[in-house]
Structure 1
Amino acid sequence: MFSLFRENVLIALDSIRTQLLRTILTIVIIGIGIWALVGILSAVKAIENTISNDFASMGANTFNIQRYEFTVQRNGGERKKVNPIISYTDVRAFIDNYEFPFTKTSVSFVGTASAEVKFENEKTDPEVQVYGINENYLDNTGSKLGEGRNFTVFDIENNNKVCILGSDFMKSLFKNDDPINKTISIRGVKFKVVGVLESKGSTFGNNQDLKVLIPIQVARSIFTQPNINYSISVMVEDKEMMQGAQDVAIVTFRNVRKLTPVEENNFGIERSDDLINRIGMITGYLEVAAWIISIITILGSSIALMNIMLVSVTERTREIGVRKALGAKRSTISMQFFIETIVIGQFGSILGIILGILTGFGFASVLGFEFTLPWSAMIWATIITFLVAVIAGSYPATKAAGLDPIESLRYE
């Protein structure tokens, strides 16, 4: 049984070699369909992994008060509503009035995204982000310390000139040195390094590791540009209390903004798990699009595969007659053509999977995303091409098996 199967595989490979151009074109057509499926799903998976990890690091028990909702709707030609910035006055009023048990409130703002940091005779390029934060920022954003300590309430309230560095400074200013307790300079102000963050990589080209965190009041004295927009983040210890904490926060901030009961919120509120769900929905649409594109392409490739096998049957009519005259059974002839279509299909599958993985890896590398092998897409690609080969090869195999040996021997 095995020897017969091996013989059929060898005959199939020999037949493929004799009609190489048509076979290559069919393999390429099948490969394009699988490439579309595996490539798009690889890219989607890379996006989903990176963004979900970034938002998951905020913690499922966190919500943010921000200037706008995550999505701002445009109705017809109307201009979108312009919400006021979240000012420091709003922040102070919210912290003083928000009372909900077992919560931590984080406040932060971006002082600049183009700071130059100096240490002794060394300095960085002017591309360092400087954040003003309070003592709860690291916990609420899921940031972890690689070494050193977090800011204390004492640091924040007494405007201590201390800072926490991103991990990229270990590759530049402090390549051969321990930064803890060293002194750096930002815009002429000296800060003592008390901690270094673990690496978080980059998202959409934004380097998360090239930043400096300093106490919020110190940051306000250095970065005095008008209309600074602050970020407020609230973490709840118990997820069951999340909705209650969020409702109280909305009421508190409405009071801070002096809104009447009939006025809409002029601010946004967003939970980290809502963002993850929304991202999952978007990537779900992309996955559906990938399946539709690949199915249409594979449908075309199945027709091409059936045509090449029908041509093969016609060209090898005399060979089939000889084999039948020598005692070959219908099932043997049929199996030969089945194996041939399956071999061509799997070659197309392998080509498409390789191209898809390379596309996904290239996409992830260029944008700095986290790439993982799309195992489910690869498995489905193999199954789909096998089924396509079986369906496309059924009619040619049946036609070949049903040929009359006498008529076949007389065929020229």
Structure 2
Amino acid sequence: MASLVKENIKIALGSIKTQLLRTILTIVIIAIGITALVSILTVVSALENTLSTNFASMGANTFTIRQYELEVRVGNGPRGEREKINPIISYPQATDFISKYNYPFTHASLSFTATSAAEVKYENKKTDPEITVLGVDDYFIPNSALELGQGRNFTGFDIENNNYVCVVGSDFQKGLLKDVNPIGKTLSIRGAKFKVIGILKEKGSTFGNSQDLRVLIPIQLARSLFTQPNINYNLSVMVEKKELLDAAIDQAIVVMRKVRKQNPAEDQNFGIIRSDELINQILSITGVLTFSAWLIGIITIFGSSIALMNIMLVSVTERTREIGIRKALGAKKSTIAFQFFTETIVIGQLGGAVGIILGITIGSIFAAVLDFNFTIPWMAILAAVITSFVVALVSGLYPAIKASKLDPVEALRYE
């Protein structure tokens, strides 16, 4: 059996060489469908990897309290107006929540983005005005699942006494603080001098925005340096024991409703977002993209299978006399069918291989442009191999059967 397969593959390759242009066109047709499928699945895989990495930074047992839920709700009226405008989470409300929320095994954190366009100076050097400054407390780093590469985190003493200390992102070691030990160095932000006490580990970028070009400073100092109206504060709560997460969220809702002075009949005017639910909801969007990829791929591949079947039927017609000679020499129907079937499989797999290479290349280019975390899409490759095999299987079945059923006498008369 192995020798028969080997012989049929040789015959198939020989046939491919004699009909090179037709074979190349067939391979290209198949490759187009596989390329469409693999490239989209590659981008989707990179997107999923990026989203999982970025949103997992919130921590598995963390939930946040914010002004709205994940999406803005739109009314059913003719103007499509927002159903309800929730008030911002003000500083008094945020601090009131933290003082009243005392559920066991939880740590609440308060923070806000002071600016996304700060200029930071060190000695005679300075950055472009692109640094994000965050006002944080001592629980912000662990609640955000951030890790320190060097130095230490803020202490309660630092926050309570408004010490002029800061923790900076890893990119500072590549730029402003390059070739120096950053711990203990003094940075200037809006004229205020901050001593560097810690360096965060690298986090990468989120949709083009670097997470490593940021400075964390005590929240009260941030409020005094960056005064602006209607600041919306962020509250995050980490639960040490996962089994207590649901109960901790229920308690947080009760406390926040009291802080917002809501009566029991009112709908809550704030959002509670669990980190695991956030990841799942975001990743569900990629499911739609995956479905679209398969739909586009299947439509294209369907056209490829029809083209491959027609080309193989033409090949059977052109090689009718050859089939007659082989049958006259004793070749069985199964041998003839297997020969043409093998030829179809070889062409299909060549088309699949070209499609996989092109698809991964195109997908990786899009991933790089969109700043996604590219990973080799093994599932897409497996799907492409299986799909190209199925295409060849379906397309080659009828031509192979037709070739095997040719009458040897009539085939020998064919000119």
Query: In which range does the TM-score fall when normalised by the shorter chain?
Result: over 0.9
| SS state at 2:238 partner | strand
2:277 aligns with 274
Tell me the alpha carbon deviations over residues 12-52 of structure 1, each in whole angstroms, 9 at most, x when there is no partner. 12222233333222222221222222222211111111111
Q: 2:382 aligns with which of 379, 388, 406?
A: 379
The whole-number CA distance in structure 2 between the counterparts of 1:259 and 1:249 is 14
Query: Given residue 242 of structure 2, which amino acid in structure 1 is its aligned partner?
Result: K
Query: Given residue 231 of structure 2, which amino acid in structure 1 is its aligned partner?
Result: I
1:45 aligns with 45
Which portions of structure 1, spanning 4 or more consecutive aligned residues, are displaced by more than 6 angstroms?
none
* Comparing 8-17 and 350-359, the one that deviates more: 8-17
Tell me the alpha carbon deviations over residues 67-90 of structure 1, each in whole angstroms, 9 at most, x when there is no partner. 110012213333112221111111
Query: Given residue 258 of structure 2, which amino acid in structure 1 is its aligned partner?
Result: N
Tell me the alpha carbon deviations over residues 347-369 of structure 1, each in whole angstroms, 9 at most, x when there is no partner. 11101111221122112212222
1:213-232 equivalent positions in 2, closer than 5 A:
213-232=216-235
CA contact (8 A) 2:135 2:218 kept: yes
The whole-number CA distance in structure 1 between the counterparts of 2:204 and 2:265 is 44
| SS state at 2:28 partner | helix
* Comparing 253-262 and 109-118, the one that deviates more: 253-262
Identity between Structure 1 and Structure 2 (%)? 64
1:84 aligns with 87
1:17 aligns with 17
1:35 aligns with 35
CA contact (8 A) 2:344 2:396 kept: yes
2:203 aligns with 200
* Comparing 97-106 and 147-156, the one that deviates more: 97-106
Query: Given residue 61 of structure 2, which amino acid in structure 1 is its aligned partner?
Result: N
CA contact (8 A) 1:203 1:367 kept: no
2:252 aligns with 249
| SS state at 1:288 partner | helix
1:172 aligns with 175
Tell me the alpha carbon deviations over residues 161-203 of structure 1, each in whole angstroms, 9 at most, x when there is no partner. 0000100000001111011001010111100000000000001
The whole-number CA distance in structure 1 between the counterparts of 2:103 and 2:335 is 78
2:310 aligns with 307
Q: Does 1:356 find its partner at 2:359?
A: yes
The whole-number CA distance in structure 1 between the counterparts of 2:249 and 2:333 is 73
Gaps of 5+ in 1: none
CA contact (8 A) 2:51 2:283 kept: no
Q: 1:236 aligns with which of 234, 239, 251?
A: 239
Q: CA deviation at 1:3?
A: 4.0
CA contact (8 A) 2:111 2:134 kept: yes
**TM-score normalised per structure 2:** 0.96
1:5 aligns with 5
The whole-number CA distance in structure 2 between the counterparts of 1:39 and 1:63 is 35
2:113 aligns with 110
- Equivalent pairs counted in the alignment come to 412
1:278-357 equivalent positions in 2, closer than 5 A:
278-357=281-360
The whole-number CA distance in structure 1 between the counterparts of 2:101 and 2:338 is 76
The whole-number CA distance in structure 2 between the counterparts of 1:22 and 1:75 is 58
User: What do you get for the CA RMSD once the two structures are aligned?
Assistant: 1.4
Gaps of 5+ in 2: none
Q: CA deviation at 1:109?
A: 0.6
